[in-house]
């Protein structure tokens, strides 16, 4: 691990300003992803701004009946919150499907969203990776790509976003709140938060230099039956090959977001509109234009079957 400077921030705006002063500075909270990458010298920030002392660790009701989740709320606490379990159970189930109990105890809401979109070639510093070293190439394109993206890719990157929580939040239409170094704040719909890889896969979100996530806001409860299904190679502590977050209303309407297939939680309005027609119709619209490799082509079939299982679960629960 390379040497770095360290400071603690006293307020969100101060944290943002401190990070902006040093090019390449990083915020640190739970550190469950960042510290691993620093040990491998994949991430080499010259300056760390510790935000753990900020008052961003509460879950509050909003005036319109939604929920504001502080950026520092730990995954375990969010999954166990009685309001989340009662009105947004999809989020609780997704959180409990992620990582391990020990990691969930440390991982934060903002940190979960900001996990690096990554693959084995990103971790291996002997391999080409445009995300790790822009312009170096992508070893995964001609390598082993079983776990990687089938849609939303580019010739520069086919990595997938690893978060389970983000998939549920996309289905729930979550909004990210931030503060900039200037002190200005903004709200970003989660669907707009992640950038497509394009030619610059090292730029993963729309956040500006020093911009700090302060909270994630859930709209008022949408009701219906909420289901989260995750298919992975082992029963715990594994990223999804395919995950499905589904919300199904009594009239057959609803939405589906899919994880493990793209650089961000994957959802399309035309797929939501086809929900009443069944999994095959939903999958056809979700994956229109997909560009799988020979190694991961099976994900298209797996996703359709997982969507079918999720919809069957919803029908059984509603019966």
**What tens-digit pLDDT sequence spans the chain (319 residues)?**
889 999 999 999 999 999 999 998 999 999 999 999 999 999 999 999 999 999 999 999 999 999 999 999 999 999 999 999 999 999 999 999 999 999 999 999 999 999 999 999 999 999 999 999 999 999 999 999 999 999 999 999 999 999 999 999 999 999 999 999 999 999 999 999 999 999 999 999 999 999 999 999 999 999 999 999 999 999 888 999 999 999 999 999 999 999 999 999 999 999 999 999 999 999 999 999 999 999 999 999 999 999 999 999 999 998 7
Kind and range of the H or E element at 245? strand 242-248
Cβ–Cβ under 8 Å, residues 77 and 83: no
Helix axes 279-286, 298-318, angle to 10 degrees: 140
Could you tell me the pTM of the whole model? 0.97
Q: Which two tokens stand for residue 297?
A: 């082509």
Give ∠ CA 62-107-9 in degrees, rounded to 5.
75
List the Cα angle 74/238/87 in 5-degree steps: 45
């Amino acid at each position: 691990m390379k040497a770095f400077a360290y400071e603690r921030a006293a307020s969100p705006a101060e944290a943002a300003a401190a990070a902006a002063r040093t090019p390449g500075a990083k915020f640190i909270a739970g550190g469950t992803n960042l510290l691993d990458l620093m040990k491998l010298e994949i991430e080499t920030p010259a300056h760390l701004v510790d935000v753990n002392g900020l008052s961003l660790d509460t879950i509050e009701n909003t005036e319109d009946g939604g929920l504001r989740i502080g950026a520092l709320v730990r995954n375990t606490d969010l999954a166990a919150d009685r309001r989340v379990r009662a009105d947004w159970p999809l989020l609780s189930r997704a959180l409990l499907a992620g990582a391990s109990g020990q990691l969930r105890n440390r991982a934060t809401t903002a940190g979960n969203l900001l996990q690096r979109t990554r693959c084995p070639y990103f971790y291996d510093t002997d391999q080409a990776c445009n995300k790790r070293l822009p312009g170096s190439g992508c070893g995964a394109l001609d390598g082993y790509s079983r776990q990687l993206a089938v849609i939303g890719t580019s010739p520069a990157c086919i990595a997938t976003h690893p978060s389970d929580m983000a998939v549920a939040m996309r289905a729930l239409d979550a909004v990210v709140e931030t503060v900039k170094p200037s002190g200005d704040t903004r709200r970003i719909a989660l669907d707009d938060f992640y950038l497509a890889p394009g030619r610059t896969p090292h730029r993963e979100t729309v956040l500006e230099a020093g911009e700090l996530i302060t909270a994630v806001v859930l709209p008022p409860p949408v009701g219906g039956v909420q289901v989260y299904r995750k298919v992975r190679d082992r029963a715990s502590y594994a990223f999804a090959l395919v995950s499905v977050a589904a919300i199904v209303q009594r009239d057959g309407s609803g939405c589906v977001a899919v994880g493990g297939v793209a650089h961000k939680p994957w959802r399309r309005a035309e797929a939501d509109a086809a929900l009443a027609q069944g999994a095959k119709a939903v999958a056809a619209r979700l994956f229109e234009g997909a560009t799988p490799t020979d190694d991961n082509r099976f994900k298209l079939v797996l996703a359709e079957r997982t969507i079918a299982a999720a919809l069957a679960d919803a029908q059984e629960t509603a019966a």
